[in-house]
Amino acid sequence: MLRRTSLFIPGNNPAMLLSANILGADSVIFDLEDAVALNQKDSARMLVKKAITTFDFIGIEVLVRINPVSSPFWKDDLREIIEAEPDGLVIPKATKEDVIAIEALIEELEEKYNVSKKVSFLLIAESAYGVEMIAETLGCSKRITGVLLGAEDLTADMEVVRRVDGEEIDYARKRVVMACKAFRVQAMDTPYTDVDNFDGLLADTEKAKALGYTAKAVINPRQIDYVHQVFAPTHDEIDYALAILQEKERAFTEGIGVFSYQGKMVDQPIILRAEKIVAMARKLGLIT
């Protein structure tokens, strides 16, 4: 499933749950953690569970951010939510130990409720330890589909000030994306918190894209279209990719193995990248 944007939706807020499936994000994250007060955790998980089974989420990925393993809430979160069969869980402050514990309980619950599909994991790397140990963590479960960098909690953990230029999270950003590429999972960039600054949002997203991120979490629906704009292939990229594939077809029919286009040799990685771009462009309806 396409995942360029993931929109956080406070789990205890029926007004916001109502519009979750129409705001245009590729995936929604029903939040049981930071958006829910401590004394409302029990109500929130019941509400989210029922919301998942009430609304239609066709073409939208449904994720639930549970509470961290260090909290007293995570087991009850899972016991309530798994039955509703969300597409995935977002695991905050994820470490290898946390993921293993969560997966063990989920295996039990999935069997108990006889679910039709296994739930996936989106890990949040938001502590120094979490970022440092990311490669180990990624190796411990086959359910992991991606990592979200959580810069707010991370900088708090590192006891540094969050900056507009992102200098303080530069290493973490690069480390996380490298580990994601190594394990072939998605790297999702941290949300841009200045919600009225769309130029800043575009610049921040472009920066992340250049590093290899293919998605960004959003905290306000107005950010969605801007992020989609960045993660869409440009007209030039699409034209180039189509030309490459056309050349490839021509070379194939003429029995030529390796060919060149516009003076550059075209080998397998370039062809694969062209295929990905064309597939994405088709999915986005940019070409037929």
Partner 1 sequence: MKIEKPAQAGTLESNDIYVQLLPAEGEGIEIRLKSVVIKQFGNQIRKVAAQTLSEMGVTECLCLLDDKGALDYTIAARVESAVKRSLC
Partner 2 sequence: MKNSLNREVPFNPYQGIRTLEPRTFEVTKNVISGNKYRESLAELIKELNIKDGDALSFHHHLRNGDYVLNMVMEEVAKLGVKNLKVIASSLFAIHKPLVELFESGIVTEVYAAYMTGPVAKAISEGKLKGMCMLHSHGYRATMIQTGEVTVDFAFIASPACSMSGNVSGSEGPSNCGVLGYAIADAQYAKKVIAVTDYIVEPKDVEIKAEWVDYVVKVDKIGDPKGIVSGTTQITRDPVGLKIAKMTLELMKGSGLLKDGFSFQTGAGGISLAVAKDVFEYCKKEQIKGSFASGGTTSYLVNMLEAGIFEFIYDVQCFELDAVASISRNKNHKKMSAAQYADIYNPDNIVNRLDFVILGATEMDTDFNVNVTTGTDGVIMGGSGGHSDTAAGAKMAIIVSKLVSSRISVLTDKVTTITTTGETVDALVTDRGIAIHPRHQALIDHLKATTKLPIVDIHDLYQMALKLTGIPKRVEHEQRVVALSQYRDGTLLDCVYQIKPE
Please give the residue ranges that form the binding site for partner 1 (CB under 8 A): 12-15, 18, 42-43, 46-47, 49-51, 53-54
DSSP code for 186:
E
Residue closer to partner 1 (CB basis): 42 or 97: 42
Give the amino acid at 195. V
Site string for partner 2, 219-238 (x = CB under 8 A): -xxx----------------
193 binds, among partner 2, partner 1, none (CB under 5 to 8 A by kind): none
Judged by CB under 8 A, the stretch of 17-25, 40-48, 130-138, 263-271 that binds partner 2 is 17-25
Shortest gap between Cβ of 19 and partner 2 (angstroms)?
A: 5
Pair 64, 123: CB distance under 8 Å: no
Establish if 24 lies at the interface with partner 2 (CB under 8 A): yes
Nearest of 243, 288, 252 to residue 270 by alpha carbon: 243
Give the nearest distance from C-beta 252 to partner 2 in angstroms: 33
Determine the Cα–Cα distance for residues 58 and 77; give it in Å rounded to an integer.
Answer: 24
Query: Are 165 and 133 contacting, i.e. CB atoms less than 8 angstroms apart?
Result: no
Q: By C-alpha distance, which of 128, 130, 227, 145 is closest to 184?
A: 145
> C-beta of 221: minimal distance to partner 2 in Å?
4
Give the pair of three-digit tokens for residue 177: 């994306």
Q: Which does 49 bind (CB under 5 to 8 A by kind): partner 2, partner 1, none?
A: partner 1
Sequence-separated (6 or more) residues with CB below 8 Å from residue 80: 45, 46, 49
Binding site for partner 2 (CB under 8 A): 18-19, 22-24, 220-222, 285
